[in-house]
Amino acid sequence: MTKQQGLEALADCRRRIDALDARLIEILNERTAIVEQIGRVKRDLDLPIYEPRREDQVYLNVLAHNQGPLGHDAVRRIFERIIDEMRQLQRLRMTNGQ
């Protein structure tokens, strides 16, 4: 591979990453909209935001679908962060009455 071919391959990979990142943001915002609905239902039913059993179900689901190369520990850490952000959003929405 020449340097020019390498640079072109690198640029192509980066374009693909940018496109995937845009899709990830779209999917995360779609997930967030559903979490907001869940928060409204929990508020109306006076249910707690934190549901450890449900979080365990989410982890089991994503790990069951993970075929790598990302390892299970990494997937779990990523989803721990996602769930934490969603929980914060629910708290904010529930306390502000949204």
Residue by residue, pLDDT tens for the chain (98 residues) are: 999 999 999 999 999 999 999 999 999 999 999 999 998 899 899 999 899 999 999 999 999 999 999 999 999 999 999 999 999 998 887 777 66
**Entry pTM:** 0.86
| CA 94 – CA 98 distance, rounded (Å) | 6
Tokens of 57: 């179900």
Check which CATH number belongs to the domain holding 39 and give it.
Answer: 1.20.59.10
Residues 6+ apart with CB under 8 A from 93: 36, 39, 40, 43
Number of domains in the chain: 1
State which residues form the domain around 49.
3-96
Q: How far, CA to CA in Å, does 65 sit from each of 26, 71, 75? A: 20, 12, 10
